[in-house]
Amino acid sequence: MPCRGTPPSPRYFHSCCLYGNKMYAYGGYSGSERLADMYAYDFETNHWSEVDCTNGDCPSGRSSLVAQVYENSLYIFGGYNGVHVLNDFYKFRLKPVSVPPPALVQDLQKLINRPELCDVTFLVEGKEIHANRAILAVRSEYFKVMLFSGGMRESIQMTCGGSDMDSDYSPPIELKDVSHPVFLKVLEYLYTDSICDTSLEVGVPLLIASERFMLDRLKALCEDNIRREISVENVIGIFIASHR
């Protein structure tokens, strides 16, 4: 058969197993030493390639071993190393574990404005926005003081409801001087460390909000976005909005 690539060195008493469209050969005896290498032959491309099996605990050189494929792994048992008959057992995964892409950011974003998953409510332009106290506190010193230190008016408003209220009830914290869509963008940043699809109409007030909530990275992101979007046609409007 035609062969390409780098074939294994001459040997006998090696193992040989089929998996998918490949044949795997491991170990064997060269006539002078017991081998501990693995090669794969691809029947579709007629190509030999050496398989890296050095990660983790690897079998020592051996011949007369037993090897078998089960599911996605090659199992090797026993053999002879030239001095001793062996009874050790090894597993080599032939197909890498499929690791899904990270989804932490997307999952955290799903928490925004989900009443059943949140424990604090803000009132912005007459509309309720739901969030998580712990996330806001670790991401923003402003919200940490507001929600846990008790030194700001908003904290007092939240923790000191009227006597006729349920003990588990926390009234919404009203936020003024920020619009509903802008505060949602603030939360998007706090939960994901990024912002997306921000127009200048939102970007300028979001920049102002980043100053209020002491979010330096958000401020820099807004400044960069505005710098890229600014033009002769909109520069005056941006200037006026920034001084309101």
First to last CA, the chain: 80
Higher pLDDT, 98 or 224: 224
Tokens of 209: 């909000």
Q: Band the pLDDT of 38: cuts 50, 70, 90.
A: very high
Query: Would you say 25 and 15 are in contact if contact means Cβ atoms under 8 Å apart?
Result: yes
pLDDT of residue 164: 46
Name the pTM for this structure: 0.60
Sign of CA dihedral 117, 104, 185, 217: positive
pLDDT of residue 243: 57
Q: Band the pLDDT of 23: cuts 50, 70, 90.
A: very high
Instruction: Considering only CA atoms, give the Rg of the chain.
Output: 32
Beta bridge partners of 86: 79
What are the tens digits of pLDDT across the range 111-163?
999 999 999 999 999 999 999 999 999 999 999 999 988 655 454 455 444 44
What are the tens digits of pLDDT across the range 183-237?
999 999 999 999 887 777 788 899 999 999 999 999 999 988 888 777 766 666 6
Domain boundaries, the chain: 4-93, 104-242
Compute CA distances 24 → 48, 75, 148, 183, 234, whole Å. Answer: 10, 12, 61, 59, 66
- The answer as to CATH 3.30.930.10 being correct for domain 104-242 is no
